[in-house]
Amino acid sequence: MKKSLVILLVAITASATSFAQFRIGPKLGANIGKIEGKGFDEQYKLGYHLGAFAEIPLGKKFALQPEVLWNQINSDTVSGFKAIYTELGNQDLKNPQLNYLSIPLLLTYKPAKVLSLQAGPQFGILLNKDKTIIQNGGEAFKNGDFSLLLGAQLNILRIRVYGRYAIGLNNINDIDDQEKWKTTGFQVGIGLAL
């Protein structure tokens, strides 16, 4: 009986310690991104992201970090965009602003207590659905985006300062199957683990 009680107490203590390391919190930051593809300006544009994250320990060195973010990606088209994509008719796509509900799922490796290296997929759902292409590109872009994130994070007490590179993996062009458009950019920001 004593042995069973000791094992139960050790299991409860271990799970409580593990649960104590589980953290959630808010985060916000800047997106420096663009849409790559024929007809788009090569300059990066400023956007933003905000949302929440969780840190789920997977041992001492690894963790899983799921997030839910509102992601804004801005870009510019070049003159002659309308001539390239004749499917637009009389409409033109200028300064598209794409708002995504993004769900990154990052695997984190901690080589040191203050440093985390992160990599993983990010799934995005296009939220702006207005049908006028001129305003936000709702008809010109596919409803989903899939990206790969690579980055690092500094863990200073409960503050998280991070930088990432986002590489778009799928074609988001919904008006012309011949030309591929992909999102790419950098994310920098700060979070607070509660």
Q: What is the DSSP letter of 78?
A: P
Task: Decide which of 87 and 22 is more confident.
Answer: 22
What pLDDT does residue 165 have?
Answer: 99
Q: pLDDT of 138-163, one tens digit each?
A: 467 888 999 999 999 999 999 999 99
What pLDDT does residue 134 have?
Answer: 42
pLDDT surpasses 70 at 1: no
Residue 17 backbone class (left: φ over 0; alpha: ψ -120 to 50; beta: rest): alpha
pLDDT surpasses 90 at 129: no
Q: pLDDT of 165-186, one tens digit each?
A: 999 999 988 776 678 899 999 9
pLDDT surpasses 70 at 135: no
CA distances from 117 to 73, 121, 147 (A): 24, 14, 17
List the domain boundaries for the chain: 22-192
Give the whole-angstrom CA distance, residue 25 versus residue 37: 35
Q: Report, at the CATH architecture level, how domain 22-192 is classified.
A: Beta Barrel (2.40)
Task: Locate 90 and state its tokens.
Answer: 């009389």
Q: pLDDT of 31-66, one tens digit each?
A: 999 999 888 889 999 999 999 999 999 999 999 999
Give the whole-angstrom CA distance, residue 63 versus residue 73: 28
CA distances from 123 to 17, 23, 30, 117 (A): 31, 22, 18, 20
What pLDDT does residue 99 have?
Answer: 93
What pLDDT does residue 131 have?
Answer: 38
Report whether 92 contacts 85 (CB < 8 A). Answer: no
Give the whole-angstrom CA distance, residue 30 versus residue 185: 10
Task: Locate 96 and state its tokens.
Answer: 């598209």
Amino acid symbol at 154: L
Residue that is written with structure tokens 């590109």 in the block: 137
Residue that is written with structure tokens 């090569």 in the block: 42
